[in-house]
Chain A
Amino acid sequence: MPTLVSARKKAASGRNGRSGPELIFGDLWPYDPAPETADPKLKPRYELFINGEFVAPKGGKYFDSINPANEQKLAKIALAGAADVDAAYRAARRAYETVWSRMPGRERSKYLFRIARLLQDRAREFAVAETMDGGKPIKESRDFDVPMAAAHFFYHAGWADKLEYVAPGRGVAPLGVVGQVIPWNFPLLMLAWKIAPALAMGNCVVLKPAETTSITALKFAEILQDAELPPGVVNFVTGAGETGAAVMGHPLAAKVAFTGSTEVGKIIMRSLAGTGKKMTMELGGKAANIVFDDAPINQAVEGIVNGIFFNQGHVCCAGSRLLVHEPVAGEILAKLKNRLKVLRVGDPLDKNTDIGAINSREQLAKIHELVDSGVKEGAALFQPPCRLPAKGFYFPPTLFSEVTMSHRIASEEIFGPVLSILTFRTVDEAIEKANNTAYGLSAGVWTDKGSRILKMSTELKAGVVWANTYNKFDPASPFGGYKESGFGREGGRQGLLDYAKLI
């Protein structure tokens, strides 16, 4: 028998009036497996991509990339040393001086359009590869990561021959070679966010993907070859922190762009002090998602779930702090618990999976550590009963209620499927609590009152505010943080300017 969950008993529920019981079927009928079967066309070994060619690393070393869903090895990846990074920069500089910076914007534009189209052609293959390498549900890589990556190239392609409109009153020029280091949470999409505007402006690129998620970048290199992008315009060097430091610190880098943790961002800023390099930093977050009592509650619950469980919570702008207006706190908590019970955790390649695998063993340990601290510090834990696969890295969707601002789970970025719930009574208290963090990347607000949305949007110290929605992205929409969430923007005309110098 399906469980009958009684409707909210609140008197003031007349507004939407839909107070019928909800049906929770739980595990009564198991889903059949629905795996996505497209061939990801993986190679057993991936080399570095330098000067338009796949080359072996000078040190001859490789590391394994595994599938976090089952801990099986996917491929060997070349480990780039300082000499490889140097070769990549030299190739990029040569391409910049001899080809790319001299090419008319109209022609650069067509290369970017080509890249967008070729990526669209191979979208399903890339989606499967992305899911196998990173652990995200196939429905997300298929419907979000890959199409959005293609959209970024398509959007920026059109800018390449219209650069005189980027900075009214001034001309713009490319900076030179740009060093970029990207994270493991949206490997292909972050690559697109970094490369598309850099190339549209006329820069050349040396990019390092995260060590656990290098495969789609190297598959993307195949697309660059198919698009006949001039050699050296884009170079990929793979490896871990040491390789990243070499990319950030190379003397030929006119600018560095980094997406990752605030901790590493600060290390990079310190290491580049006095070098005169331009920087864009897209760092961590601890976003407040604020729900008022007049919000459309069912929509808000969906938004909260999407805000924190999208990509297993491996999202810098995840709505990890839920601030709920006291009058609706009980109702929202009850609805969230019901909603969590029907989230499907498991095989990322299954089309029905909502929450896939945690990206790495290290990240899983970090999530466990912070969740343990939440329990120890006195917050109330809720996890729905769910069967996690025996192999691989998984973490069940988790709620903490009775959280206070002093708890670690309320201030530190968890980067996992863990939601901390706090309450507030007044608008001012909500603003105060939301802004009481060193971060300032994003925020959410849910209310039916237009003037309150605009007030909250004005007062929240965050670079992106989602009102009655959450976790929406677009190439035309500038994204980036306030305070310790970084500086510079990605997307839109504003983001493009960060890859230019004014002349």
Chain B
Amino acid sequence: MSRLPITKTPKVYVGGAFIRSESSRVFPLPDARGDFFANIPQCTRKDLRNAVEAAAKAGPGWAKRTAYNRGQILYRLGEMLEARAAEMTAALIRFGAPKARAAREVGLTVDRLIYYAGWADKYEQVLGSVNPVAAPYFNFTVTEPMGVVGVIAPDTLPLLGLVSMVAPAIVSGNTVVALASERHPYPAILLGEMLATSDLPGGVVNLLTGFRKELVPTFATHTHLRAISAAVTASERKTIELGAAESVKRTHFVDAEKTDWFGDRAQSLYEIRDFLELKTTWHPVGA
């Protein structure tokens, strides 16, 4: 008689802990063959607000880490994903990804983390400046993280898309609340387990699963989210921009269909820049 395996209860990773929705709601997730796979937390607006609170709490500490340290932690996350690449690839395949593409998606996700890890202590030198003002002042411009960034991940390439949006936001010291792909949430559940073992402080990345139509409006209007990075439809984009106007929130949109997530253009210094504020300081030069 074959052994009955233990199945895993999927939980979302919020504030450094694995939780279920405060509402106890779940939705059933079938695999690509249509068989029942697991019940996924159907996170609520309240879960989103709690996650934003966790992210806000983690923010100052994360931003104060040295750039070198943040780079090493992102690199460590890459190590964790590489070590569990087989498990992640199998999960992608189970939910319908062709074998070769799944392996490529996982490999490139690791590479993307390494790419951004390396930027941690370099982007400032490219984006900041010392400015030659026409008066006796020392004048310089530095970058600073914006704060808590809301990420709404695409359904296409649910792992690579999510990580391509989260990594450039956190490398500079932002913290993130991300809504995983609604259709393929399981890779984000697995990613949460890797985040938990990667030295990334709890609350820096918070991953929610659930329904876009329930959560996108709250992402749009939550005033503690200082920026939104979203792979969304045209009507969702309008909802987000209307909500963003209420608190002059920064928005960054990705065309999920047109983006070549595998291409070199999907990773860029300017993805980091879009989640930075620029601060200019003046000081007299004198005795």
Contact = CB atoms under 8 A, between A and B. Distances in A.
Interface of A: 151, 167-170, 262, 265-267, 269-270, 272-274, 281, 283, 438, 453, 457-458, 462-469, 472, 474, 476-480, 482-487, 489, 492-494, 502
Interface of B: 126-127, 129, 131-135, 137, 139, 141, 144, 226, 234-235, 237-238, 241-242, 244-248, 250, 268-270, 277-284
Contacts of A479: 280
28 contacts: A168-B126, A170-B268, A265-B248, A266-B245, A270-B242, A272-B241, A274-B235, A274-B242, A457-B279, A464-B281, A466-B282, A467-B281, A467-B283, A468-B283, A468-B284, A469-B282, A472-B133, A474-B139, A476-B133, A476-B134, A477-B131, A477-B133, A477-B141, A477-B280, A478-B129, A478-B280, A483-B226, A492-B129
A44 to B, nearest CB: 37
Contacts, number: 114
Nearest to B253: A276
A464 B140 CA distance: 10
Nearest to A453: B283
B189 to A, nearest CB: 32
B141 A469 contact: no
Given A472-B135, A477-B141, 17 more contacts: A151-B134, A266-B248, A269-B241, A270-B245, A273-B245, A438-B247, A462-B279, A463-B279, A465-B279, A465-B281, A467-B281, A469-B137, A469-B284, A474-B134, A476-B131, A478-B141, A485-B248
Main secondary structure of the interface of B (DSSP, over half): mixed
Contacts of A485: 248
B221 to A, nearest CB: 12
Contacts of A468: 283-284
A478 B282 contact: no
A123 to B, nearest CB: 16
Given A465-B279, A465-B280, A479-B280, A474 B248 contact: no
Given A453-B283, A484-B248, A274 B278 contact: no
Candidate in B126, B133, B226 with the most chain A CB atoms within 10 angstroms: B133
B223 to A, nearest CB: 9
Contact of B131 (A269, A478, A484): A478
Candidate in B141, B144, B250 with the most chain A CB atoms within 10 angstroms: B141
B133 A273 contact: no
Nearest to B286: A468
Contacts of A489: 278
Contacts of B278: 463, 478, 480, 489, 494
B219 to A, nearest CB: 14
A308 B128 CA distance: 29
A492 B278 CA distance: 11
B248 A283 contact: yes
Contacts of B238: 273-274
Given A269-B241, A477-B141, A492-B141, A483 B248 contact: yes
Contact of B141 (A262, A269, A283, A494): A494
A493 B273 CA distance: 13
A487 B248 contact: yes
B138 to A, nearest CB: 9
A158 to B, nearest CB: 12
Contacts of B241: 269-270, 272-274
Given A281-B248, A477-B141, A482-B277, A502 B282 contact: no
A255 B265 CA distance: 23
